[in-house]
Structure 1
């Protein structure tokens, strides 16, 4: 059972008189499954995970760009991303699964941003001092490895593309161990590992209401009519998080907006170059190869019209707009003019829950007792998921486990001041 002394620096967590389970987690995506596994691997708490989807990775997880990288402005977030990356790199050991679905492919990440030498040196020190393998590459170094790239650092005005004049950068940051994993596979692996540890995971069952008693959340009412009493509800519902919070009257401080994000997939051939993950400071987009080598994924430029706020997460267009596809292809051609720009183009859209104030998530107790939040990841949920799960589980259980991040568990508390960011939402 959860006892109040198990929770440090937070409100007491108390059980109802006759709970059906100790914890209910709403949402079985990469965040919810990580929280479930991290709690189960370090405690005997009874955990139920419910998700209205038919299976894993049907929400934001399924539209993840799948990149693991560590360049963040806040040092604690650097360490969080780094420890999460270590988990992805050692996935079988982390999950305890002999043959997990997900695996890690190292690609390296090149940041083509407008930075002075002194600024790059400061970024290098921030990442290196927190364990990240990072280099500063000269223009000659970059073009020696990837001659197909153009190293323009001048922002592109998409309203006046014909007047754009390139300005070449001279030095660039390169994350050596950045790479990609398999979001859908990782989600399925975490669910399998959670079940092995005794977690009850139920798909096809949504939450119709949050049950309260004397101002405290004490359970959930499922859409099949069942009521589940518990000591704690964790809202990890992704783009549906606002609906759960509204049921409980919680989380009115931060603006968390489900946002349609458009991703373009372009055909890639055997003769095309093996490019690094590239973060494009001219457009705030990014590009990375698929592990098959047969496609390259292009994240659209960060233009407001390409990032559509969505009121109903169950109803949005799932294929990219033609205007967005054309702009994304043009942005990629600007960045990689030495690439053969032909081939079939497809794409997908997904919903990321953008924290409008600082692009960082809200993680930990809400202002309503009995309800905890793991919301508003702004497209960074997959990168941070193993560490986020550890933060929640460590606070609830008081127990440490391998791969835990060395950061304060209240870093993303609901009552914090906005954290620093640099670049766009995805940067």
Structure 2
């Protein structure tokens, strides 16, 4: 099956000779960064090798969530929620955003206590997140057949349509004065006197003062060619969508074996609640030491396999020049096949939990590559070793909801404005300055 059907964003016809900032990558984070910068009066070029939102930004679950995040992300996610509330009006386009709440279910005393402890992370922010059970839970999960101790309910959480959001933001960036080029890969950085002076795209050179690398799963490859070490791996997540269903839950639901979100078309997006597929590739071994804590922490949710991706990535060039055809041109859209096993499992479990889904049809499925870091929080940072280069990547499956906030923070860093939140936790140098790298689920 083809990937998700996106709102098209037509490319501008002419590459500018110069821009204040070049943003590499037309996902939700890159588009949000471009919009923020353009609204501040900077000349911006947004370059996307394929189509706007063509990879993980359109392939995710569509959750806009504060709940169960790493506590280090909470301040930025609060800012992102504020942005989402006004995003349709700001862009003049539909993103599908709606505040409908999210429920993280607990089927044991242990998970109930863990969810309750996580909720304490929101107490300093005076944001409601509470454990519910009994009739309150039944009202939010009509017709469910799960054996639950309860659930963490965060009413402030919401949902949006991934196939609409990044295109809406990118089009708004163009409205604000940005140039948006699709089918235009950035090949290399142009460096002069030890700092960024421009980029070389497949269509020509563009002079600039700053570059933002928001390339998602491709960021490590691009950074490496520029001599920048960026520890990042890819994880496959499988998603499906159903035909419309009457009477299902409005709130999004996470359970151990499935997750679901109501869609604007009345159907549901369904995925595994915990399982992710990890293809063994050469980088798996190059980065084994950096990712060891994450591997130990998340072992039960990772399904390792040796697939054709080993050969694909082993053959992929790791160094190239401005005149070379790059991996970004030979693969315009990373479109991995979904896991048939994950589809069978999550769909069967969702139907058992909500019998009302048994009359629904699976209309489409797809895979998406999540860009992950060793501590499962993003890099939103300047690069100390190369002034003018900035990185916004490694969102580890949390990027869609936090994307507008990440774009605002990245724009603050690029322009030298007071940052919307303290960016210290997201600095790239944490992987090289001796800092202890750890995962923090907040309980």
Structure 1 counterpart of 2:427:
413
- Whether the 8 Å CA contact 2:33–2:411 is kept in 1: the answer is yes
Q: CA deviation at 1:139?
A: 3.7
* Equivalence for 1:15: none
- Does residue 1:422 correspond to 2:417, yes or no? no
Q: In the alignment, which of 368, 374, 377 is matched to residue 392 of structure 2?
A: 374
Aligned counterpart, 1:69 = 65
Post-superposition offset of 1:206: 0.7
SS in 1 for 2:42: coil
Shift in alpha-carbon separation, 1:135–1:205, aligned structure 2, 3 A: same
Task: Name the SS for the 1:191 alignment partner.
Answer: helix
What secondary structure is seen at the aligned counterpart in 1 of 2:122? helix
Distance in 2 between the 1:307 and 1:198 partners?
45
2:254 and 2:222 mapped to 1: Cα distance? 34
The correspondence of residues 225-236 of structure 1 with structure 2, limited to 5 A, is: 226-236=204-214
- Listed as ranges, the matches of 1:241-260 within 5 Å are 241-252=219-230, 254=231, 256-260=232-236
The alpha carbon displacement at 1:273 in A equals: 2.4
Match of 2:47 in 1: 50
- Equivalent residue number for residue 157 of structure 2: 178
1:220-299 correspondence to structure 2 within 5 Å = 220-224=199-203, 226-252=204-230, 254=231, 256-270=232-246, 272-280=247-255, 282-283=256-257, 285-299=258-272
2:381 is the counterpart of 1:364: yes
> Counterparts of 2:411 and 2:367 in 1: how far apart (Å)?
31
In the alignment, what sits opposite 1:330? 348
- How far residue 138 of structure 1 moved from its aligned partner, in angstroms, is 2.2
Please state whether the residue corresponding to 1:230 is helix, strand or coil. strand
Tell me, yes or no, if structure 1 residue 109 matches structure 2 residue 125: no
Q: Say whether 1:146 aligns with 2:146.
A: no
CA contact (8 A) 1:268 1:296 kept: no
Paired residues of 1:30 and 1:57 also in contact (CA < 8 A): yes
Taking the aligned partners of 2:424 and 2:274, their CA distance within structure 1 comes to 32
Structure 1 window deviating more from structure 2 (226-235 vs 318-327): it is 318-327
Cα RMSD after superposing both structures: 2.9
Task: Give the CA deviation at 1:35.
Answer: 0.8
Query: 2:237, 2:277 within 8 Å by CA — same for their partners in 1?
Result: no
SS at match of 2:220: helix
Contact kept, 8 Å, 1:33 with 1:190, in 2: the verdict is: yes
* Structure-1 residue corresponding to 2:402: 384
- Give, in whole Å, the separation in 1 of the partners of 2:177 and 2:357: 51
In the other structure, the counterpart of 2:14 is none
Separation in structure 2 between the aligned mates of residue 182 and residue 307 of structure 1, nearest angstrom: 30
- Quote the offset at 1:307 in angstroms: 7.3
Measured in 2, the distance between the counterparts of 1:48 and 1:337 equals 46
* In structure 2, distance between residues paired with 1:33 and 1:291: 22
How far residue 197 of structure 1 moved from its aligned partner, in angstroms, is 2.4
Q: Describe the SS at the equivalent of 2:53.
A: coil
Alignment deviations for residues 355-408 of structure 1 (CA, whole Å, 9 cap, x no partner): 2x11111111123322111111112111111111111111222446xxx84x20
| Residues 196 and 386, structure 2, Cα contact 8 Å, conserved in 1 | yes
Change (3 A) 1:273 1:23: closer
- The alignment status of 1:124 with 2:119, answered yes or no, reads yes
Q: Which has the higher helix share?
A: 2
Q: CA deviation at 1:329?
A: 1.8
Asked if structure 2 preserves the Cα contact closer than 8 Å seen for 1:107 and 1:177, the reply is yes
Q: 1:40 aligns with which of 17, 38, 41?
A: 38
Give CA-to-partner distance per residue, 1:238-270, whole Å, 9 cap, x none.
122122102211124x2x123322102233432
The aligned counterpart of 2:365 is: 347
* Equivalent in the alignment of 1:87: 83
C-alpha distance in 1, partners of 2:340/2:167?
A: 33
Aligned residues: 373
